[in-house]
Amino acid sequence: NDQLALPVGITLDRFIMRNEADFPFATGELSQLLRDIALAGKIVNRDINRGGLSDISGQFGSQNIQGEHQLKLDVIANIRFIRALKNGGEVCAIISEEDTELIPTGNNKAKYIVAIDPLDGSSNIDANVSVGTIFSIYRRVTPTGTVPTIGDALQKGDMQVAAGYILYGSSTMLVYTTGRGVNGFTYDYSLGEFFLSHPQIRTAPVGNIYSCNEGNMDDFPVAVQQYLHKCREQRLIGRYIGSLVGDFHRNLLKGGVYLYPATLKNPEGKLRLMYECFPLAYIVEQAGGAACDGKRRILDIMPDSMHQRAPLYIGSAKMVEDIYSLHFTHA
Ligand code: AHG
Ligand code: MN
Ligand code: MN
Ligand code: MN
């Protein structure tokens, strides 16, 4: 039987233990934190899978700080992750797309801060399209034992200790980096475990996919319009789900570029620097790709507010560099 010939899989827990233990000064707290996130991910995965049965799709009735109508699952996923992170004890504060202010956990002795997009692509959920969770982890700046401040969260992208996402797709995956490459794990429902399925993911230097919301084309900067024109001349493949995690993950594996430029409606870009751009930029660079906002490398940006937005060009390094150069030609 072919199934039995498969090697025994490495579980996420085992992988984390093996790989994070040999970090300098490792005390096991980061490992525990990653496991807490994975556990919350399993719970949210269950909520999402039962979506149609448990009346959790549709609107919650309130708006978040982003000016978006919160969907029930946005709120539920947010509660799940915050609860898991509070109970886990390794995090002193959380910033979330769904919450206006920094959320202190009460664990002032903890040394980590988490930034989270609890449910990404939530406008797709009613149509049973893939959604995700995106997270990034920082070390606090203020001394442990004190009450964390917003300054602990507002750090340059380069300061991330770890970043990852969970994709609730045709299969559920967790992909993360702690700065030593990117590894992907697939969830086995029958066993309730994530197994290493995509070790050391590398993204192609050039791919043949481009992903953007072409409905906004007329608002895009000239440089981007020109780039997209070239993509079409070359008969590249256009793919856009509208769930950033899904679009990013596909391009990471297959090679390609994702673009969310500034538009009239969103002059700063739409995507959130701290919950979306930073974590994915860290992952893409760790996989050999690149990310910029048209002018700067994403990870070089110093945020001034937690809900700040940025244009995003991310994916295969050569494609991102081409977009970057075109911005200068048209500056
Ligand atoms: P979120 O659901 O977390 O608010 O994020 C929505 C984001 C992202 O997932 C997606 O790629 C993008 O919005 C799509 O925007 P458009 O609908 O403007 O294309
Ligand atoms: Mn949202
Ligand atoms: Mn999002
Ligand atoms: Mn979201």
DSSP 170-182: SSEEEEEESSS-E
DSSP 159: G
Residues that constitute the known binding site for Mg(2+):
97, 117, 119-120, 276
- Strands 290-292, 312-315: pairing is antiparallel
**Residue of 72, 126, 243, 275 to mutate, ligand 1, most atoms within 8 A of C-beta:** 243
pLDDT in the model for residue 50: 83
Q: How far is the CA of 155 from the centre of ligand 4 (A)?
A: 20
**Binding site membership of 11 for ligand 1 (Cβ less than 6 Å):** no
Out of 250, 268, 271, 309, mutate this one to test ligand 1's pocket (max ligand atoms within 8 Å of CB): namely 271
- pTM (predicted TM-score): 0.95
Please give the annotated binding residues for substrate, written as ranges. 120-123, 213, 240, 258-260, 270
Residue 99 · residue 134 · CB < 8 Å: no
Instruction: Give the β-pairing of 312-315 and 256-260.
Output: antiparallel
pLDDT in tens, the chain (331 residues): 555 555 568 999 999 988 876 666 678 899 999 999 999 999 999 999 887 776 666 777 778 888 888 778 899 999 999 999 999 999 999 999 999 999 999 999 999 999 999 999 998 888 899 999 999 999 999 999 999 999 999 999 999 999 999 999 999 999 999 999 999 999 999 999 999 999 999 999 999 999 999 999 999 999 999 999 999 999 999 999 999 999 999 999 999 999 999 999 999 999 999 999 999 999 999 999 999 999 999 999 999 999 999 999 999 999 999 999 999 888 7
Instruction: Measure 44 CA to ligand 3 centroid, in angstroms.
Output: 15
CA-closest residue to ligand 1 atom 2? 121
Amino acid 53: pLDDT? 73
37 touches 164 (CB < 8 A): yes
**CA of 6 relative to ligand 4 center, distance in Å:** 37
Characterize 151-190 residue by residue with b for buried, 16 or more Cβ atoms within 10 angstroms of its Cβ, and e for exposed: ebbbbebebbbbbbbbbbbeebbbbbbbeeebbbbbbeee
ipTM of the complex: 0.97
CA dihedral 263, 323, 168, 190 (to 10 degrees): 180
Which pair of structure tokens corresponds to residue 254?
A: 């297959």
Is the CB–ligand 1 distance for residue 77 below 6 Å?
no
Q: What DSSP state is assigned to residue 40?
A: H
Beta bridge partners of 194: 187
Give the pLDDT of residue 331: 76
Determine the distance separating the centroid of ligand 3 and the alpha carbon of 121, expressed in angstroms.
Answer: 6
CA 308 to chain centre: 15
**Ligand 1 atom 8: residue of nearest CA:** 244
Q: Pick out the residues of the known binding site.
A: 97, 117, 119-123, 213, 240, 258-260, 270, 276
Q: Which ligand is nearest to the CA of 312?
A: 1
CA 144/CA 324 separation, integer angstroms: 40
Return the pLDDT at 22: 64
The predicted pLDDT at position 72 comes to 85
Cα(115)–Cα(219) distance, rounded to whole angstroms?
30
CA of 74 to the centre of ligand 4 (A): 6
Does residue 243 line the site of ligand 1, with CB under 6 A?
A: yes
Residue 174 contacts residue 194 (beta carbons within 8 Å) = yes
